[in-house]
Amino acid sequence: MQKSAMKAWWDSSHMAGGNAAYIEEIYEAYLENPQDVAPEWREVFDQLPAVEGVEVETKHSDVRDLFKKLAQLGPAGRVSAPAASGGTDAKQVKVLQLINAYRFRGHQHANLDPLGLWKQERVRDLELSHHELSEQDFDSVYSVGSYAIGKETMPLGELFKSLNRTYCGSVGAEYMHITNTEQKRWLQQRLESVESRPAFNRDTKIAILKGLIAADGMEKYLGSKFPGAKRFSLEGGDSLIPMLKGLISHAGANGAKEVVVGMAHRGRLNVLVNVLGKNPSVLFDEFAGKHHDTLGSGDVKYHAGYSSDFATPGGDVHLALAFNPSHLEIVNPVVIGSVRARLDRRHSNDGGAVLPITIHGDSAIAGQGVVQETFNMSQTRGFSVGGTVRIVINNQVGFTTSKREDTRSTQYCTDIAKMVQAPIFHVNADDPEAVLFVTQLALEYRNTFKRDVMIDLVCYRRHGHNEADEPNATQPLMYQKVKKHPVPRELYAQQLLAEKVIEQHEVDKLVSDYRAALDHGACVVDEWRPMTEHSVDWSPYIGQEWTVPYDASLSVEKLQELGKKVCQFPEGFKLQSRVAKLYQERLNMINGEKKLDWGCAEILAYASVVEAGSRIRFTGQDSGRGTFFHRHAVLHNQKDAATYMPLQHISENQGPIEIYDSVLSEEAVMAFEYGYATAEPGALTIWEAQFGDFANGAQVVIDQFLSSGEQKWGRLCGLTLLLPHGYEGQGPEHSSARLERFLQLCADHNMQVCVPSTPAQVYAMLRRQVVRPMRRPLIVMSPKSLLRHPQAVSSLEELSSGVFHNVLAEVDELDAAKVDRVVMCSGKVYYDLLDARRKNELNNVAIIRIEQLYPFPHDDIQQVLADYQHVKEWVWCQEEPQNQGAWYCMQHNFWASIPESGKLTYAGRPASASPAVGYIAEHNRQQKTLVEDALNFKEGTE
């Protein structure tokens, strides 16, 4: 259009004159904040080209000029150009609104449910009449604005059809909640240019068909060979198989070197055999109850993980399917943590080298809070992985519950993804080409924008929750429909036959070949390759016990050298005054002027680990500073809020160290760190609770992964949990890290539970966790008041040996022969006992500390107790109530440690429902009593 014509149009347009002021007002609001205007207007304004010299602050008076300027821009302006024939300006705007309506709400009329049971709400915005348009206008040609079909104008009839094909076919695209215009345009371009249906070539179509044949063939085979056995069939969601293969292939072609998949039980066996290439004969043996490996307890087959390589156009990609428990969504942060470790190892900061795929169920993704936690983590510094491709196997029923009013409060099960503005592609699983299209699009979006993306694979479940279940009892109508519904491979084969892509005999051959391959028991995945590329070697850690010898010693000089480095920060970097004082004291400690406190020893442990080249990853809600102001590993410049981590400046060849204050989550963050630690044996990976009992927000991670992952799945994990614990009168929620819960989970040497009581001990314990070639979880009851306790100090010499003492002997020079009472304890109460004993000169009572409660150090304790074999009175003293702490779980070990003639008694708080009392006076009374009970004296009576 000529500039003059545009100008004439503008002058006569409804946008000029009386309406102009109104539009200007809206436009002004839009310039201030696009979110403040109605989506329809935002869409129109989004299409306006940027005008040089117009800033966001443009005020009302300038807007009129702006519109004039736009009018002069000609067709490049693209907004509401006059109809090329037969239309009016008003209609043109309506046409743009219609396009907009389809972009926003087309998904609500999309053909998504293979069973056709969804009752879709009537969306008037998608009707012509709502926009004062009608079929009478079908021949009129309008500008299509930014509609990315590759034409500037279209007859309305053609446009209307195109909009329906793009937005209301087998793909329901939800993306208009994204505020970033570039991302929106990018998605529009890809959806609209091919009307959500690209032309796939014959090879791709055959590959899709083969995938569907494999998915169906596998389930039928298992169903006939092992009738009634639980397999959590994929049937109904068969297109997941060609989808995953297509996704992995596309990822490999785009540079991915590894793909880590997390999924629950539904369809898992199918994925194992048809995507990861697990040998079917191994699976059949598992069905037959044969036991292949030598893992401890083992696990059911539909929880098993698997690893293999997969050939793609970009080279072989390593695949790992994570082991998972039945707690559906919890595996997702584990997978994402594992991906972060792999990315770190590959120095891939943008997520390019490793792709996480998480596969969800429709009820679980809407129902379980850990999903929200992982979305919230997805763009944070410490936890981002460049986006996750999330797939929902939406079979529209969770076990027996399918009524939407029972399962969720949102229209779609995927609405949670909108919290991070992820695009959501709903897709009809009976249209496998549409599925492949959105899958590729999702991956490209993830790779381009490094953000999460969601695919809602709308399918059905052919059987009950498992194959022995009767779904008609609870879903009668759905299952009447399912019974008559052809399987996906039949539907797609018919499509390809109609398209003359394949002949019937070829389809039959593909089906029989697949069945023959299963009969043969060999791998059925053409792309399967044996694992080759392995950057991590777990073999040094396999089969190692906690008693394996190691040397963690460092000379005092070396410690001082490291200590000086961790006290350095750039010139001009202004520390907060209390931090400056603490750093000065730390330097004094390093220089040998005073003994080391907890923070200093802990920092030295980290410095020594990274100096030796190992990686440290440390997260928790206040990890940088430390909840109790003792660590200060991350410094904050008081002048400009810049941060500095001295531990990152130890030496040129040091290992990397990352310390992140985490999002406020326990469950997903601990699961993430578990995933990280199971993928990175060389690192010291630490999660710290703000207060120890908050870890119970992550109880699933502790029960299902940490305490039993090695025994169930053979997956080692050296994650350390630092759980502040101690009775200082802070009440029920800030005293106990629930030691008893961890001890109750202990068996088979599955994890270590330690209660270090000196700086030298925490130093040695942390070093041991990396230097010793054993990878098992370390649960630490870490201190609060001991961080600053004047007696909880250690010398550099004590640190130098690097030995963690599982048991600490009596420290005072008592005459062992005169000792007639021995108190055993762990943690902070030791200092209360010591103090009272010294004050009251109770030299007949020896106090020993058990610093590792599990695995129980029988040999060490025998050595320490050797001089007290004559003693009859033995006491276990704890601060916790009697039904908590170590007493009940560890009593048998205490009894086993004392001489046969000895008698063991308990000194501690009385049994209590609450972990601690809330009243400080009562706390003090209890604390005094338990110390007196342990030492067998009453203050003032001795």
Which residues are near ligand AMP by CB under 6 A? Answer: 307, 320, 538, 678, 715-717
Give the nearest distance from C-beta 298 to ligand AMP in angstroms. 15
Q: Toward ligand AMP, which CB reaches closer, 95 or 320?
A: 320
Give the nearest distance from C-beta 244 to ligand AMP in angstroms. 16
- 171 and 427 in contact (C-beta within 8 Å)? yes
Q: Which of 423, 461, 448 is nearest to 114 (CA)?
A: 461
Alpha-carbon torsion angle 33, 39, 42, 43, nearest 10: 150
- Half-sphere CA count of 19, side-chain side, radius 13 A: 10
C-alpha–C-alpha distance, residues 931 and 878, integer Å: 9
SS (H, E, C) 385-412: CCCCEEEEEECCCECCECCHHHHCCCCC
Give the nearest distance from C-beta 719 to ligand AMP in angstroms. 10
Q: What does the angle CA 719 – CA 721 – CA 726 come to, to the nearest 5 degrees?
A: 160
DSSP state letters, 597-640: -HHHHHHHHHHHHHHTT--EEEEETTTTT-TTS----SEE-TTT
Give the nearest distance from C-beta 285 to ligand AMP in angstroms. 19
Give the nearest distance from C-beta 671 to ligand AMP in angstroms. 14
Give the nearest distance from C-beta 443 to ligand AMP in angstroms. 20
Q: Toward ligand AMP, which CB reaches closer, 335 or 482?
A: 335
Give the nearest distance from C-beta 453 to ligand AMP in angstroms. 23
3-class state of residue 457 by DSSP: strand
Give the nearest distance from C-beta 715 to ligand AMP in angstroms. 4
C-alpha–C-alpha distance, residues 694 and 699, integer Å: 9
What lies within 8 Å, CB to CB, of 70 at 6+ separation is 10, 48, 49, 51, 77, 79
Neighbours of 127 (CB within 10 A): 14
Q: Toward ligand AMP, which CB reaches closer, 295 or 501?
A: 295
C-alpha–C-alpha distance, residues 262 and 332, integer Å: 6
Q: Toward ligand AMP, which CB reaches closer, 190 or 278?
A: 278
Q: Toward ligand AMP, which CB reaches closer, 504 or 535?
A: 535
Burial class (CB in 10 A: 0-12, 13-18, 19+), 816: middle
Q: Toward ligand AMP, which CB reaches closer, 261 or 853?
A: 261
Give the nearest distance from C-beta 323 to ligand AMP in angstroms. 9
DSSP state letters, 740-808: HHHHHT--TT--EEE---SHHHHHHHHHHHHHSS----EEEEE-SGGGG-TTS-B-HHHHHT----SEE
Q: Which of 795, 724, 726, 790 is nearest to 760 (CA)?
A: 795
Q: Toward ligand AMP, which CB reaches closer, 537 or 557?
A: 537
Q: Toward ligand AMP, which CB reaches closer, 776 or 909?
A: 776
DSSP H helical segments within 55-124, as ranges? 60-72, 89-105
Question: Helix crossing, 556-566 with 598-611: angle to 10°?
Answer: 100
3-class state of residue 455 by DSSP: strand
Q: Toward ligand AMP, which CB reaches closer, 205 or 775?
A: 775
Look at strands 306-312 and 528-529 and give their pairing. Answer: antiparallel
Give the nearest distance from C-beta 829 to ligand AMP in angstroms. 36
Q: Toward ligand AMP, which CB reaches closer, 262 or 827?
A: 262
C-alpha–C-alpha distance, residues 882 and 87, integer Å: 85
C-alpha–C-alpha distance, residues 79 and 47, integer Å: 6
Give the nearest distance from C-beta 328 to ligand AMP in angstroms. 21
Give the nearest distance from C-beta 279 to ligand AMP in angstroms. 14
Q: Toward ligand AMP, which CB reaches closer, 778 or 807?
A: 778
C-alpha–C-alpha distance, residues 652 and 633, integer Å: 19
Give the nearest distance from C-beta 287 to ligand AMP in angstroms. 22
Give the nearest distance from C-beta 327 to ligand AMP in angstroms. 19
3-class state of residue 595 by DSSP: coil
Rg (CA), the chain: 33
Give the nearest distance from C-beta 306 to ligand AMP in angstroms. 8
- 827 and 783 in contact (C-beta within 8 Å)? yes
Q: Toward ligand AMP, which CB reaches closer, 100 or 388?
A: 388
- 531 and 238 in contact (C-beta within 8 Å)? no
State the residue for tokens 């053909």: 111
Q: Toward ligand AMP, which CB reaches closer, 277 or 464?
A: 277
Residue nearest to ligand AMP (CB): 307
Q: Toward ligand AMP, which CB reaches closer, 104 or 306?
A: 306
Q: Edge-to-edge, what's the strand order for the sheet holding 778-782? A: 657-661, 616-620, 684-688, 720-724, 778-782, 752-754, 852-854
Structure tokens at 282: 């191994």
Q: Toward ligand AMP, which CB reaches closer, 399 or 538?
A: 538
Q: Toward ligand AMP, which CB reaches closer, 366 or 717?
A: 717
Q: Toward ligand AMP, which CB reaches closer, 22 or 538?
A: 538
Q: Which of 456, 378, 511 is nearest to 174 (CA)?
A: 456
Give the nearest distance from C-beta 339 to ligand AMP in angstroms. 10
3-class state of residue 509 by DSSP: helix
Give the nearest distance from C-beta 184 to ligand AMP in angstroms. 36
